[in-house]
A and B are shown apart, each in its own frame.
Chain A
Amino acid sequence: MERKTKINAEDGKQDLVITREFDLPLELLFKAFEEPELVEQWMGTKVLKLENKKHGGWHFVTTDPKGNKYGFNGVIHEFSPNRKITRTFEMENTPFGVQLEFMEFEKMTDDTSKINMHVIYESVMQRDQVLQLPFRQGVNMAHNRIQEILSKLK
């Protein structure tokens, strides 16, 4: 069964919702956000700090293939195991500001679970800038080429 990530970003709003169902029990899904070694594996980042508690902070550093380093940090406001994480998120040295993230975890069956991430940005403009970030150069370059081909279609 195909499990697809969905993004709901309505025009003119400063938030978005990311949802995804997993072939994983709820406890395993939550663990992936809790254990630094696991976060490092799936996020492809280095975890310098991850304090899973109220008032706790987190700090990740990601290195791209060219060796450039990008820092990410924030504060944890709520940490309820297998249920909810509320945190702030900031990409350092970028104009994207601080975003507020509500991550809710939900059991579907004994072997499946779901995440619902509600992300709120400081403004509509900031949200749209983040959406259009060249996250993955490859994908974006291909994406621009599709636009080019589409422009040929009437």
Chain B
Amino acid sequence: MNLRRDVFQAIADPTRRAILLLVASHSMTAGAIASNFDTARPTVSKHLQILTECELLEQKQDGREIHYYINAKKMKEVADFIEPFRIMWDDRFNKLESVMKKYKSKK
């Protein structure tokens, strides 16, 4: 799995971007986040799960509630200006690797 690419896919979704913008100002519970959207609660939960999996959000248990925080370090890392260039080469080289593995097994 290419985790880096998943980060960009995560950001490419408008709802997930809106969630990041919300949580960027202060940490929030899943319920509070969901109340900002018309979409069904499970849909919002799914978005939160994806954002947490690619480490853009972090969860912290606070009593009975789970608060979502933005992971500033990860966000900055992804925002690094040469990252798109790196990803382009990484994708290209991943492709090279899979093309050559198939080539080898055909022989």
A binding-site residues for B, Cβ under 8 Å: 3-7, 9, 18, 20, 22-24, 28-29, 31-32, 38, 41-44, 115, 130-133, 135-136, 138-143, 145-150, 152-153
Tell me the minimal C-beta distance from A115 to chain B in angstroms: 8
Q: Are B90 and A4 in contact (CB under 8 A)?
A: yes
Tell me the minimal C-beta distance from A3 to chain B in angstroms: 8
Q: Which A residues lie within 8 Å of B17 (CB)?
A: 145, 149
Count residues on chain B whose CB falls below 8 Å from chain A CBs.
36
Q: Are B88 and A139 in contact (CB under 8 A)?
A: yes
Q: Which A residues lie within 8 Å of B8 (CB)?
A: 138-139, 142-143
Q: Are A136 and B86 in contact (CB under 8 A)?
A: no
Q: Are B88 and A153 in contact (CB under 8 A)?
A: no
Q: Are B75 and A28 in contact (CB under 8 A)?
A: no
Distance, CA A44 to CA B86, complexed state (A): 17
9 new A-B pairs (CB below 8 Å) besides A132-B81, A139-B88, A152-B21? A3-B97, A7-B86, A7-B89, A18-B89, A22-B96, A29-B100, A38-B103, A153-B70, A153-B75
Distance, CA A93 to CA B103, complexed state (A): 34
Q: Are A153 and B72 in contact (CB under 8 A)?
A: yes
Partner of B82, one of A131, A141, A147: A131
Within residues 70 to 86 of chain B, which ones have a CB less than 8 A from any CB in chain A?
A: 70, 72, 75-76, 78-79, 81-86
A-B contact pairs, 28 of them (CB 8 A): A4-B90, A5-B93, A7-B82, A7-B86, A9-B82, A20-B93, A23-B97, A24-B97, A28-B103, A38-B100, A42-B92, A42-B95, A44-B95, A115-B93, A131-B85, A132-B81, A135-B84, A135-B85, A135-B88, A136-B87, A138-B12, A139-B84, A139-B88, A143-B79, A143-B84, A146-B78, A146-B79, A153-B75
Q: Are B97 and A5 in contact (CB under 8 A)?
A: no
Q: Are B96 and A140 in contact (CB under 8 A)?
A: no
Q: Are B78 and A141 in contact (CB under 8 A)?
A: no
Distance, CA A139 to CA B7, complexed state (A): 10
Verify if B24 is at the interface (C-beta below 8 Å from A): yes
Closest B residue to A138 by CB, please name it: B12
Q: Are A153 and B81 in contact (CB under 8 A)?
A: no
